[in-house]
Amino acid sequence: MLDAAPSRSFDPKDYLRLQYMPHFMCPGCGHGIALHALLAAVHDCGIAKDDLAVVCGIGCSGRVGGYIDANTFHTTHGRPLAFATGLKLARPDLTVVVVTGDGDCLAIGGNHLIHAARRNLDLTCLMLNNEVYGMTGGQASPTTAATRFTSTTQSGAIEPTFDACALAAAAGASFVGREVTRQAPALKTLIARALRHPGFSFVEVMSDCTEIYGRKNDLGEAPEMILSQKADMRPDSHRDATDQPFRPHALPTGVFVERDLPEYGARLRAHAAAIRKEAGR
């Protein structure tokens, strides 16, 4: 099913619940680009909508799933990976995609991320990182860079940030990658690779929140924020001193981890089959 050739060219309308348009995302929000890339990747992989389950948490990222014409689950804050674990174990026939955010996945749901990565169940997790709690009014998240102004860091953030990809990789994820919303085609390709990867795939999508975060930090309007993404992605040694970095730390993009590890669901079923065989059932 996954590798079947797409029967027709990609039209996002085929994958959207058009009756719920226009969507609720702010103008300039990167989440729409991420949604488009996800749908294009689903199309490229030939996944039937009936066989696709999208599990979301809470926050702006949590609302993305509702627009997808698939089996969609808007769960509780921080827990989509845990819900998805139950769903995928119960229904290995489904392609289960988790759409989560930096707060949902790294703060309240951080424990579930590291354990999902460790188990290596065949889930694809898209973490839309906009560095802020957008839905609740722009509070600091675990990826809010130092010195940034948010409604809970009104004199500048001081906490260190998480590198979500390093975290997922260290916890054992068998596929880890990162891409920016500015590079939409590369993002689609990365998500498609993640969907095809048998095991836990973690994709960090560098999204941006113009309305609440960009404005507060003089990062410009959406075009400026999106255009500055690429510059900021360059390694430190290549950075121009005149850059006005949107993200002060260089974040590499691409696939960082792709390893062949036993997939948890298959392992669990093989283990059970061996037990049954031994028990003569």
Partner 1 sequence: MSARLTALHGNHACALASIAAGCRFFAGYPITPSSEIAEHMSHELPRIGGTFVQMEDELASIAAVVGASLGGLRAMTATSGPGFSLMQENIGYAAMTEVPCVIIDVMRGGPSTGMPTRPAQGDIMQARFGSHGDRPVIALAPASVQEIYTETIRAFDLAERLRTPVTVLYDQVIAQLLESVAVPPPEAVHVSERKWANGAGPAYQPYAAGEDGVPAMARPGDGHRAHTTGLTHSESGFPTQSPPVVDRMMRRLLGKIDVNQALIEKYETLMADDADVLIVAYGITARAARRAVTVLRAEGVKAGLFRPITLWPFPEAPLRRLAGPARAVLVPEMNAGQLVLEIQRLVGRDPPVHPLGRIDGEPIAPDEIVTAVKELAVHA
Q: Which of 6, 46, 86, 137 binds partner 1 (CB under 8 A)?
A: 86
Window of 45-53, 128-136, 153-161, 202-210 that interacts with partner 1 by CB under 8 A: 45-53
Size of interface with partner 1, in residues (CB under 8 A) = 42
Which residue of 11, 13, 20, 249 would you call a contact of partner 1, by CB under 8 A? 20
H-helix segments, 17-161? 31-45, 80-90, 102, 110-119
- What gap in Å lies between CA 204 and CA 250, rounded to an integer? 14
Contact 71, 94 (CB under 8 A): yes
Piece of the chain touching partner 1 by CB under 8 A; list 26-34, 200-208, 224-232, 269-277: 269-277
CB of residue 50 to partner 1, shortest distance in Å: 5
Instruction: Give whichever of 21 and 146 is closer to partner 1, judged by the CB atom.
Output: 21
Instruction: Work out whether 69 is an interface residue with partner 1 (CB under 8 A).
Output: yes
Using the contact rule CB under 8 A, the part of the chain among 71-79, 140-148, 168-176, 190-198 near partner 1 is 71-79
Where do we find the tokens 């970095």? 245
* Burial (CB count <10 Å: 0-12, 13-18, 19+), residue 164: buried
Q: How many CB atoms lie within 10 A of CB 247?
A: 21
Do 121 and 127 touch, CB atoms closer than 8 A? no
SS3 assignment, position 167: helix
The minimum distance between CB 195 and partner 1, in angstroms, equals: 17
Number of C-beta neighbours around residue 56 at 10 A: 26
CB of residue 82 vs partner 1: minimum separation in angstroms? Answer: 4
Q: Which residues pair with 54 in a beta bridge?
A: 72, 97
The CA-based dihedral angle spanning residues 27, 31, 37, 41, taken in that order and rounded to the nearest 10 degrees: -150
Beta bridge partners of 38: none
Told to check if 84 binds partner 1 by CB under 8 A, we report yes
Residue holding tokens 């953030």?
157
Identify whether the C-beta of residue 137 lies closer than 8 Å to the C-beta of residue 60. no
Nearer to partner 1, 8 or 281 (CB): 281
Residue 250 to residue 233: CA distance in whole angstroms: 5
Q: Which of residues 170-189 bind partner 1 (CB under 8 A)?
A: none
Nearer to partner 1, 1 or 146 (CB): 1
Residue 240 binds partner 1 (CB under 8 A): no
Nearer to partner 1, 166 or 270 (CB): 270
Minimum distance between the CB of residue 79 and partner 1, rounded to whole angstroms?
4
Q: Is 125 a residue that touches partner 1 (CB under 8 A)?
A: no
Residues of this chain that interact with partner 1 (CB under 8 A) are 17, 20, 49-51, 53, 55, 65-66, 69-76, 78-79, 82-91, 93-94, 111-112, 114-115, 268, 271-272, 275-276, 279, 281
